[in-house]
Structure 1
Amino acid sequence: MTSSPFALAIHGGAGVIERERLSAEEEAAIRADLDRALEAGYRVLRDGGSALDAAQAAVVALEESPRFNAGKGAVFDAEGRHELDASLMDGRTRRAGAVAGVATIRNPIKLAREVMEHSPHVMLIGAGAENFADTRPGIERVPNDWFDTDARHAQLLETQARERAEADAANLKGKYFGTVGAVALDMHGHLAAATSTGGMTNKKWGRVGDSPLIGCGTWADAHCAVSGTGWGEFFIRNAVAHDIAARIAYGGASLQEAADAVILRVVPESGGDGGAIAIDAQGNIALPFNTSGMYRGWIATDGSRGTAIFSS
């Protein structure tokens, strides 16, 4: 069987990322973690592995970093705890797995994979998902405070103080950033996407965003793979990941045209913001965002790679 070039893209979240508040040391550390995630996915693809394995490997690496809002770096909710969500999808089969509201799973993306492969379901939530985790070898449980970081706790306090001071506390535009994701094309021509998040800082009432919802924050089919990041409510309302794919499958749009139309027009016109990473069956990569920055990285079909934070 002949093989084709492979490609990979990752994100570490979109939102208000201010240059003046990001020190040179912090930027270097973030880029190093993005490079580690790229390398984790690259090794899988280079060795002939599947796009699904590569996307998962890249997201696991991002979940292990305290610098992104997923896994170890997950934000705090209003009760000072962490609830994590994740999903992944295999474009070849359209099988998918997802978990939401888990509190003790070190790598939620691994549990989402187990849901896909070892249950009859697509999504499990909360205590039920954690009970399922106990039936699967290799899924590590950790105390909820394992996810604590000083930076995220300070972010919680700042958010709560702002909420008390602002009359329009419901307007969340630009007041968050987070989520990690990966999309991959393997040398067999198959696509996959994976997304993981700690959700929104100071979230209440068991809020769940788009990241674990297939078609909203994650999608993969034979044409493209998409992982989103941003104000989840608007990604849900607009079925953002699937909308990008549908514009390609049914409208004949290119990957860049489809991704730009949804992220740069549909989402902001409805009142939301954020970004996405997408890859098509030819290995083209699109990385649009309508916020001040998006942590991102890529490896193109020609082997070139890079990382970026701001638009220029």
Structure 2
Amino acid sequence: MNRSFLIAGALLMSLSATAQTKPEWTLVIHGGAGVMERDKMTPEREAAVRKALDASLEAGSQVLAKGGSALDAVEAAVKVLEDDPNFNAGRGAVFTYEGTNELDASIMEGTTRKAGAVAGVTRTRNPISLARKVMEDSPHVMLAGKGADQFSAEKGLEQVDPSYFATEERRRQLETLKAKKTSWFDVDRKFGTVGAVAMDKAGHVAAATSTGGITGKRWGRIGDSPVIGAGTYADDRACAVSATGAGEYFIRVGVAHEICTSMRLARRAEHVECPDQAKEEFAQCWRRPELDAETATDIATVVMDEVKELGGSGGVIFVTPDGAGGWSFNTPGMYRGKVSADGEKVVAIYNDEG
């Protein structure tokens, strides 16, 4: 019998056995990490955030439950959060020092590792959809500023007046920053960036991230959210990751790619004893180890510890092709949620939940 056929057959048998143990699909979302503590959160604010996170999970899970792609699911989930003023993305984005809203977003799918990103967008209602257009309808990965706005209009995406994104709470934060000459972190005390990662029924993964940046940003500052490999990454061999936090540190560590690389190495195929039906001359059998949620979380935490050692804070969400989904953060809280085809829905804020 052909040697390559034996090897391929044995590999397929081992992989099919693995596939039976994983959920059909998994979705994980976040709405930012930071100083989110019970005694500093009003009941009204907490209820509104939990409701929005639940709505985001519903939007993404409906796509996945019907057999839709992970890419469609993360876009749908993020759009819900972009439209909600409780988060620093889309409507509700923070102000630059000059009093404008400049939006960043990125999206990536794990089959071919195609990606799209935008930075400094000012008129697209849902920047995550624009990032996807860049990925699918342009030869580029990232567009910025006026060019990104022009591309958006040419592609027929919904345009809004820049005032649509502004909220009084975000304006107050900018005024406080200027009046007290304090830092953006002292004003915000949290990172309201939003994101989603998903694994679909075909076993493919995707990630999406969207943000307004940081209060009082100047000189066209761009953080990690639209940077592929820093704030967003997806690879069917490893995982999908979306990050939120002090962007400069996430860029320096290459957080999203670093986590995916570590998970890919952990899932590297290894030799195993062949089953009886494959025990012919020259047969080699392989198994790609599964990553359970606990092991995957440990890997993500190692990278987040490196961010912390450099002085940065924030968090990440992840999902593997095995359907293991979760998060790791080094802040008091993180707006987050998770649901899978065979698991209970989780919506959480504080570090002692979920």
TM exceeds 0.5? yes
Q: Report what 2:154 is aligned to.
A: 135
Query: Of 102, 108, 111, which residue of structure 2 is paired with 1:89?
Result: 108
Report the more deviating stretch, 246-255 or 276-285: 246-255
Shift of 1:174: 7.8
307, 312, 323: which one aligns with 1:283: 323
TM-score by length of 2: 0.83
Give the Cα–Cα distance (whole angstroms) in 1 for the partners of residues 111 and 196 of structure 2. Answer: 16
Offset, 1:19: 2.2
Q: Deviations along 1:81-116, whole A, 9 cap, x unmatched?
A: 100000000011100000000111110000000000
1:22: Cα distance to partner? 1.1
Shift of 1:170: 8.5
Choose the corresponding residue for 1:216, options 195, 207, 230. Answer: 230
Q: Name the CA distance, whole Å, in 1 between partners of 2:316 and 2:347.
A: 15
Confirm or deny that 1:74 pairs with 2:93.
yes
Q: 1:174 to 1:63 in 2, by over 3 A?
A: closer
1:261 aligned partner: 302
Query: Structure 2 residue aligned with 1:294, among 325, 334, 351?
Result: 334
**Structure 2 equivalent of residue 152 of structure 1:** 170
| Alpha-carbon separation, structure 2, partners of 1:61 and 1:55 | 10
Matching of residue 48 in structure 1 with residue 70 in structure 2:
no
The alpha carbon displacement at 1:224 in A equals 0.3
- Separation in structure 2 between the aligned mates of residue 109 and residue 226 of structure 1, nearest angstrom: 15
User: How far did 1:257 drift?
Assistant: 1.9
Contact conserved, 1:245 with 1:258, CA < 8 A, in 2?
Answer: no
Could you state the TM-score of these two structures normalised by the residue count of structure 1? 0.94
Which of the residues 42, 45, 53 maps onto 1:34? 53
Asked if structure 2 preserves the Cα contact closer than 8 Å seen for 1:176 and 1:200, the reply is: no
Q: Quote the RMSD (CA, aligned, Å).
A: 1.9
Distance across 2 between alignment mates of 1:118 and 1:298: 31
Describe the SS at the equivalent of 1:109.
Answer: helix
Question: What is the distance in 2 between the residues matched to 1:94 and 1:249?
Answer: 14
- Encode CA deviations 1:7-27: one digit per residue, 9 max, x unaligned: 100000011223223111110
- The answer on whether the counterparts of 2:26 and 2:341 sit within 8 Å (CA) in structure 1 is yes
Query: Aligned equivalents of 2:178 and 2:257: distance in 1?
Result: 34
Measured in 1, the distance between the counterparts of 2:159 and 2:337 equals 29
- Aligned identity (percent) is 53
Deviation at 1:189, TM superposition (A): 0.3
Q: Is the CA contact (8 Å cut-off) linking 2:27 and 2:199 kept in structure 1?
A: yes
> Within 5 A, what are the aligned runs for 1:146-225?
146-162=164-180, 164=181, 169=183, 175-222=189-236, 223-225=238-240
Q: Secondary structure at the match of 1:220?
A: strand
**Aligned-partner Cα distance in 2 for 1:188–1:177:** 33
Structure with bigger gyration radius: 2
Given residue 240 of structure 2, which amino acid in structure 1 is its aligned partner? Answer: A
Q: Report the CA distance shift for 1:31/1:75 in structure 2 as closer, same or farther (over 3 A).
A: same
The answer on whether the counterparts of 1:185 and 1:281 sit within 8 Å (CA) in structure 2 is: yes
How far has the Cα of 1:154 moved from its partner? 1.3
SS at match of 1:45: helix
Instruction: Give the secondary structure class of the aligned counterpart of 2:217.
Output: coil
- Partners of 2:202 and 2:190 lie apart in 1 by 37
Q: Secondary structure at the match of 1:134?
A: helix
Match of 1:22 in 2: 41
Query: Residues of 2 paired with 1:202 and 1:116: CA distance?
Result: 29
Partner in structure 1 of residue 242 of structure 2: 227
Deviations along 1:171-225, one digit per CA (max 9) or x if unpaired, are 8798442100000000110000000000001111110000000000000001200
Q: How many residues align?
A: 306
Is 1:283–1:301's contact at 8 Å kept on the other side of the alignment? no
Matched, 1:65 2:84: yes
Q: Deviations over 1:237-279 (max 9, x none)?
A: 000000001111125584212111111x111001100000001
Residue type at the aligned position of 1:37: S
Match of 2:264 in 1: 249
Spell out, residue by residue over 1:57-82, the C-alpha distance to the aligned partner (whole angstroms, 9 max, x if none).
00000000000000001011101110
Q: For 1:187, give the aligned amino acid.
A: K
Cα deviation, residue 292, structure 1 = 1.2
2:351 corresponding residue in structure 1: 311
Q: Determine if contact 1:174/1:291 at 8 Å carries over to the other structure.
A: no
| Structure 1 residue aligned with 2:126 | 107
